[in-house]
Amino acid sequence: MSKQRMVVTDDQLLIDMDLIFSAIEQADGKWEQVEQDMSNYVKMVRDMIKSPAVTVSIPHQRMVITDDQLLIDMDLLFNAIREADGDWRKVATDMNAYLEAIVGMVGD
């Protein structure tokens, strides 16, 4: 089954956590640069869409969990890295453990 890598809305980006952590690793751990790159990407998409301002306040979806994947709100992920004093590997480990725990609760 194919995986969904991103969900883009007018005011939010949910992204596959493995994709983000791979990008950080390829950037030699410079997670701030990856955060900036992703913010620029979201801005570019918003500019292409040129959708009107959201007038109804809709709660953000923070995560999407499947049997083998976690899509997470980009801001939530980078805030977690920031709170971990930039230790993105710890956040990756914690997020993977969280996914495994959720999948384990659901079972097959």
Q: What are φ and ψ of residue 62, in 5° steps? A: -85, -30
Domain that holds residue 64: 6-106
In a domain, 1, yes or no: no
Q: Which two tokens stand for residue 85?
A: 């004093």
Q: Which amino acid, residue 16?
A: D
Residue 32 CA to its chain's centroid (Å): 14
Question: How many angstroms separate the CA atoms of 91 and 96, rounded?
Answer: 8
Instruction: Tell me the per-residue pLDDT of 82-105, one tens digit each, with 9 for 90 and over.
Output: 999 999 999 999 999 988 888 788
Q: Can you give the pLDDT at residue 81?
A: 96
Please report whether residue 48 resides in a domain.
yes
pLDDT of residue 51: 58
Domains of the chain: total: 1
Convert the pLDDT of each residue in 35-85 to its tens digit.
999 888 888 877 777 755 555 556 677 887 777 788 888 888 999 999 999
Closest residue by Cα to residue 6 from 70, 94, 51: 70
Given this model, what pLDDT does residue 1 score? Answer: 57
93 in a structural domain: yes
Task: Give the whole-angstrom CA distance, residue 63 versus residue 60.
Answer: 9
Cα-based distances in Å from 108 to 2, 24, 53, 103, 105: 19, 32, 42, 8, 9
